[in-house]
Amino acid sequence: MTENREYDAREARKRLKQFLTGKTGERLFVQQIPHPSTPTGLCYCDNSVFRTIGMCFKAWLLETLLQLPFDGPKLWFLRRLGARIGKNVHIAAGAWIDPLYTQLLTIEDNVFIGMHTKIFMHEYRINEFRVGKITIRTGSFIGGSAIIGCGIEVGEGATVAAGTVLGCDVPPRSTIGGNPPRIIKRNERPSS
């Protein structure tokens, strides 16, 4: 098991709080941690029982609304949770959006997000905990079952192919696809 005797959960939470308030001006927060199988103090499940239950309820409600074939309730709830959602956004039924750190999600106008896409604002790695902003710019198209990792920006008018595991930014008006992702086309589509 990986061990890190230097790990200071209180200091880590302080750094995370600063990131979340926008004071650092950074897009991605990275914290070195011991192995994620041991409590890091950074996940909602490390909080009090009541906060954990509240978080579970929020996550359940968001996941339920995201199953609906119409956008109104899901976009309303995402905005209530602090996400910035533009006009004419369609999130297809069955998409999954990370209920943690919804305030870090920005979806601009005229965006389409395909079925079963997953959008993660946080992730564990074997020795890191990451939290990041996700920005999906105007007019972009996310194909079904794509996975979008934290700290990513999808450029204006870009296309993310179905099933892409997106761990890098997408230049405007480009098409990206695959795992690992590669640029399939550049400057193909006019931005709207």
Ligand X SMILES: CC(C)(COP(=O)(O)OP(=O)(O)OC[C@H]1O[C@@H](n2cnc3c(N)ncnc32)[C@H](O)[C@@H]1OP(=O)(O)O)[C@@H](O)C(=O)NCCC(=O)NCCS
Member of 31, 102, 138, 159 binding ligand X (CB under 6 A) = 159
Per-residue 3-state assignment (H helix, E strand, C coil) for 63-90: HHHHCCCCCHHHHHHHHHCCCEECCCCE
Q: Residues 41 to 100: which contact ligand X by CB under 6 A?
A: 92
* Residue 76: C-alpha distances to residues 72, 101, 102, 122, 164 (Å): 6, 16, 13, 22, 27
Q: What single-letter DSSP state applies at residue 4?
A: -
Stretch that binds ligand X, among 21-29, 42-50, 96-104, 173-181 (CB under 6 A): 173-181
Tokens 């996975």 identify what position?
A: 147
Q: Residues 115 to 154: which contact ligand X by CB under 6 A?
A: 115, 143-144
Query: Which of 70, 48, 155, 177 is closest to 111 using CA atoms?
Result: 155
Name the residue nearer to ligand X (CB basis): 100 or 169: 169
Q: Report, in Å, the least distance between residue 159 CB and ligand X.
A: 5
Stretch that binds ligand X, among 36-44, 63-71, 100-108, 170-178 (CB under 6 A): 170-178
Per CB under 6 A, residues contacting ligand X are 92, 114-115, 143-144, 159, 161-164, 175, 177-178, 184
